């Protein structure tokens, strides 16, 4: 089973809202990732968690706040986003080197 | 900092082999080549990866040139469900972790 789940599938939020994206995997993977994908572009890495600790932050603005409460769960907290943050947000996990992606959350910021 | 170049689009007839090329002339000796595909609005799906040798699995074959500067992904019998964007990726060591450097992708259209 190589399933990564993400909720919600779609999210519409205003610039003053606070919302969270959720990612879950039960494959025992110890590394988890957040990516952002704009239309017709490849995914871009945002954050890497390894053993529940933030290992890499690709200079992401502080209005995006990741959290890894346990080894199976990864959250992305959103606050005061801008319309240009509208994108597909992808979560991935890996045991060793191959990353498995979830279906993504389509975020629209009004 | 893309390390791969791919044609933006390709067509293939259903039932024929689809050969997707990728150039990665600046790849280092310990960096792997990965292929993922993304069907519209879904998450990328892992296909195959390799370092030097040719690789085959139930989905595809990966042919890497001897100088490792280019590779070809082969879908032996393309179906309509193989219509997707195919990403050629170099996996690099980054801050002690593995980072996928995506190319711009090839949009493959399989037609009847």
B69-87 tens-digit pLDDT: 999 999 999 999 999 999 9
**Percentage of residues in chain B having pLDDT higher than 90:** 84
- Measured over the CA atoms of residue B39, residue B45, residue B86 and residue A47, the dihedral's sign is positive
Closest CA to B105 of B43, B48, B20, B41: B20
**Closest to B44 (Cβ–Cβ): which among A50, A101, A106?**
A101
Most distant CA pair in chain B, distance: 46
Query: Which chain A residues are closer than 8 Å to B43 by Cβ?
Result: 4, 6, 90, 92, 101-104
Smallest Cβ distance to A42: which of B49, B91, B104?
B104
Judge contact between B25 and B70, C-beta under 8 A. Answer: yes
pLDDT of residue A93: 95
> Going residue by residue through chain A (110 aa), what tens digit of pLDDT does each one get?
569 999 999 999 998 889 999 999 999 999 999 999 999 999 999 999 999 999 999 999 999 999 999 989 999 999 999 999 999 999 999 988 899 999 999 999 99
Residues linked to residue A108 through DSSP beta bridges, in sequence order: A12
d(CA B15, CA B8) in angstroms, rounded, equals: 22
Q: pLDDT tens digit string along B11-54?
A: 999 999 999 999 999 898 889 999 999 998 799 999 999 999 89
Closest residue, chain B, to A57 (C-alpha) = B95
Task: Measure the CA–CA gap between A83 and B79, rounded to whole angstroms.
Answer: 38
User: Which chain B positions have a beta carbon within 8 Å of A97's beta carbon?
Assistant: 32, 91, 98
C-alpha to C-alpha distance for A46 and A64, rounded to whole angstroms: 9
Tokens for B41?
Answer: 């609005």
pLDDT, tens digit (0-9, with 9 covering 90-100), for A75-100: 999 999 999 999 999 999 998 889 99
Q: Look over chain B and give the mean of its residue pLDDT values, rounded to a whole number.
A: 94
C-alpha closest to that of B104 among A100, A86, A88, A43: A43
Strands B55-56 and B45-50: unpaired
CA distances from A15 to A65, A82, A83, B112 (A): 15, 6, 8, 45
Listed in sequence order, the residues at least 6 apart from A96 whose beta carbon sits closer than 8 Å to its beta carbon are none
| Contact call for B42 and A56, based on CB within 8 A | no
B12 to chain A, closest Cα gap in Å = 21
Instruction: Kindly report each contact of residues A61-67 with a partner whose C-beta sits within 8 Å and lies 24 or more positions away, as own/partner.
Output: A66/A34
B29 CA to centre of own chain: 18
Residue where the block lists tokens 């690789």: B55
What pLDDT does residue A96 have? 82
């Amino acid at each position: 089973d190589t399933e990564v789940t993400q909720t919600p599938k779609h999210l519409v939020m205003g610039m003053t809202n606070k919302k969270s994206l959720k990612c879950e995997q039960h494959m025992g993977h110890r590394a988890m990732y957040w990516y952002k994908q704009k239309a017709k572009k490849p995914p871009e890495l945002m954050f890497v968690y390894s053993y529940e600790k933030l290992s890499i932050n690709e200079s992401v603005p502080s209005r995006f706040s990741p959290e890894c409460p346990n080894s199976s769960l990864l959250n992305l907290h959103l606050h005061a986003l801008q319309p240009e943050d509208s994108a597909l947000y992808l979560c991935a996990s890996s045991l060793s080197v191959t990353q498995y992606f979830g279906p993504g959350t389509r975020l629209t910021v009004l | 900092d893309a390390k791969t170049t791919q044609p933006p689009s390709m067509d293939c007839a259903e039932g024929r082999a689809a050969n997707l090329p990728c150039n990665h002339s600046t790849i280092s000796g310990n960096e792997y080549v990965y292929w993922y595909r993304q069907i519209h609005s879904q998450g990328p799906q892992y296909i195959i990866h390799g370092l030097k040798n040719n690789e085959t699995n139930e989905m595809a074959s990966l042919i890497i040139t001897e100088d490792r500067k280019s590779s070809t992904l082969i879908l032996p019998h393309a179906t309509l469900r193989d219509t997707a964007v195919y990403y050629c990726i170099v996996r690099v060591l980054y801050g002690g972790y593995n980072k996928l450097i995506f190319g711009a992708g090839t949009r493959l259209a399989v037609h009847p």
